[in-house]
Amino acid sequence: MDKTSGFKIRGIYKSLRVRFFVIVFLTGLISCLVMHSVILDSYENRAVNVKSTEAQTQLRILANHLIVSNYLQDTSSEVINAELDMLANLYDGRVIVINDDLKVVKDTYNISQGKTIISEEVVNCLKTGSKGTVSKYDQANGYIEIVTPIIESEDIEEEDVSVSGKVSEVVRGVLLTSVSTETIAVTLKILSRRAQTLEIMIILIILLFAAWVSIMLLRPFDRITTAINDVKAGYTDEPIVGPNYLETEQIINAFNALLRRMKVLDDSRQEFVSNVSHELKTPITSMKVLADSLLAQEDVPNEVYREFMTDIGAEIDREDKIINDLLALVKMDKKASGLTITSVDVVNLTEIVLKRLRPIARKHNIELTLESKRAITAEIDEVKISLVIMNLVENAIKYNKDEGWVKVELDADHQFFYVKVIDSGYGIPEESLDHIYERFYRVDKSRSREIGGTGLGLSIARNAVLMHRGTIDVSSVVDEGTTFTVKIPLTSTLALTK
C-alpha cells in the first residue's frame, strides 16, 4: 500500500460523516436482522406448541379408547387400528403403542411390533407412573416426539367413607408418537424468503437514509470549511453567517472573533506602515528642500553653506533616531520569549542610565536626582529595562521647564520593584493621557519634533514593561508636572538565561 492510499483510508476512518453513516446503517441493519430472527423464532415456537397440544389432546382421547377396548391385551380391534392409522396419517407421523412390559403392541409403521422399547422417556413414564404427557421438539429432524401414558382408572374399594368415590389411576402402557413438523418448516421457509426480500428492501432504504442523514446533518461543517477557505483565499473577509447548530455556531463565533481580531491587527499594521512612511519622509523632505535651495543659489557664502549643511546633518540624525526607535519597537513586538533574563542590580542599572542623561539635563539646567529606598535585585532583561528608564527620564528632561527638576525614585516590596519618574514639566493634558503610548503619538507635534522626539519612546517603554508582566501608570497635572510609575515583578516566570 503506498503512502497516499494509506492516508486516504485513515481519512475515511477519521471522517465524522463516514462514522455517522456507519453508525446509522449498522443500527438499522442490526435491528432489522434481530427483528427477523425474533419473529421467525416466535412463529416456530408457537406453531410447534399448537401442533403438539392438538396432538396431545387427541392422543389422550385415543389412550382412553385403548383402555376401554382392552387393546393392550388384544390388538385385533379394527376400529382402534383404523383410529391409530388415521391419527398417524393426520400428523404424517408414527404411533407406537407400548404395554407396561415395554413391549411394542402396535406400530403404525409395522416395523417394531413385538420389540422392546427402552427409550428413556417411555421407561420414565411407566416406572414413575407419571400421568402427564411429555413432548419433545426435535428441530434438526423435524418432528415432535410425544409420550402419552395410557391410564386406567379404577374405583377404590375401601371401607373408609372419606376416601370412597375416589379414583385410583394406573399406567397400563404408553403411546409413543412422532408428529412431523414439515409443514411448519415449509411455512418457515416461505416466511423467511418473504422476510428476506423485505429485508433487502429495508436495508436499501436504510442505506439511502444513512447516506442522506450523514450528508445533510454534517452539511453545516462543509459550509464552514468553504467559508473559512474563502476567507483564507482572500475573496472575502465578511463574517460567516448561516442557519446552523449550536455546535457549529460556536465554531463560527470563534472564527468570526478571530476574523475581527485579524482585521484590527491588519488595520493597525496599515496605520503603522503609513505613519512610519510619513515619519521617515519628513526629514528627507527637509533635506531635499535644504539641498535644493543651496543649489538654486550661486556663489553661496561659506557661512550659509555651513548653516545649511548643519541643518541637513540634524535631519540625518533625526532619521537615524527614528530608524533606531523603530528597530527597538520591532524587537519589542516579539513574544516575551525574546527576553534575556538575568539577575540585575536595579539601582546600579538606573545610575548608569542617569549618568548618560546628565549632560542633556545639565544643558537645560535641570536637576536630576536619584533616590533609592533599598538595594534591589531583580530577574529582568537588562537592556529592555534600561530602555524603559531611559525613555521616561529623557521625556521628563525634554518636556520640562528650564531650571526644573527630575526625581527618580526606586523602591521594592516582596513581589515587585517600582520606578517612579517625577518631573516639574509642563504636564500632559487629560485628553492625551490615553494616547501617549500609541506609536508616533505626540501631544504637541511641532514642539516635540523641535525637541527631537519620534513619538515612539513611550510605546517602546510600555511594550518592554508588558513583556516583563509589569504595569506602567501615569498621572499628570498640566503646568505642574508628570509622574510615571513602573511596577515590575522581581522574579521572572521565565528561567534565568545566565
Ligand X SMILES: Nc1ncnc2c1ncn2[C@@H]1O[C@H](COP(=O)(O)OP(=O)(O)O)[C@@H](O)[C@H]1O
The binding site for ligand X (CB under 6 A) comprises 391, 395-396, 399, 423, 425-428, 436, 441-444, 448, 453-458, 482
Smaller CB separation from Mg ion, 395 or 492: 395
Q: Where are the alpha helices (DSSP H) in 218-301?
A: 219-233, 246-296
Q: How far is the CB of 442 from Mg ion (least distance, A)?
A: 9
Q: Quick check: 457 binds Mg ion (CB under 5 A)?
A: yes
187, 75, 59, 175: which is closest to 126 by C-alpha?
A: 175
Compute the least distance from the CB of residue 323 to ligand X, in Å: 14
Min dist. Cβ of residue 260 to ligand X (A):
28
| Minimum CB distance to ligand X smaller for 96 or for 366 | 366
Q: Is 470 in the site for Mg ion (CB under 5 A)?
A: no
> Any bridge partners for residue 297, and if so which?
none
Binding mask 371-410 for Mg ion (x = CB under 5 A): ------------------------x---------------
Name the binder of 44 from Mg ion, ligand X, none, CB < 5-8 A by kind. Answer: none
* DSSP state string for 401-436: -TT-EEEEEEEE-SSEEEEEEEE-S----GGGTTTT
Q: Which three cell numbers, joined as nine digits, stand for 143?
A: 418432528
Rounded-to-integer distance, Cα 389 and Cα 398, Å: 14
- CB closer to ligand X, 172 vs 442: 442
Rank residues 220 and 425 by Cβ distance to ligand X and give the closer one: 425
Nearer to ligand X, 72 or 461 (CB): 461
**What's the min distance (Å) between Cβ of 13 and ligand X?**
57
What minimum distance in Å lies between the beta carbon of 235 and Mg ion? 43
With beta carbons less than 8 A apart as the criterion, state whether 428 and 392 touch. no
Closest CA to 490 of 423, 402, 410: 410
Distance of closest approach, residue 439 Cβ to ligand X, in angstroms: 8
Among ligand X, Mg ion, none, partner that 173 touches (CB below 5 to 8 angstroms by kind): none
Instruction: Give me the residue whose beta carbon is nearest to ligand X.
Output: 453
Burial readout 35-62 (b: 16 or more C-beta within 10 A, e: otherwise): ebeeeeeeebeebbeebbeebbebbeeb
The one-letter code for the residue type at 133 is T
Lookup: cell for 130? 407419571
What does each C-alpha distance from 409 to 290, 351, 391, 484, 485 come to in angstroms? 44, 11, 15, 10, 9
Q: Of 102 and 451, which has the nearer Cβ to ligand X?
A: 451
* Interacting residues with Mg ion (CB under 5 A): 395, 457
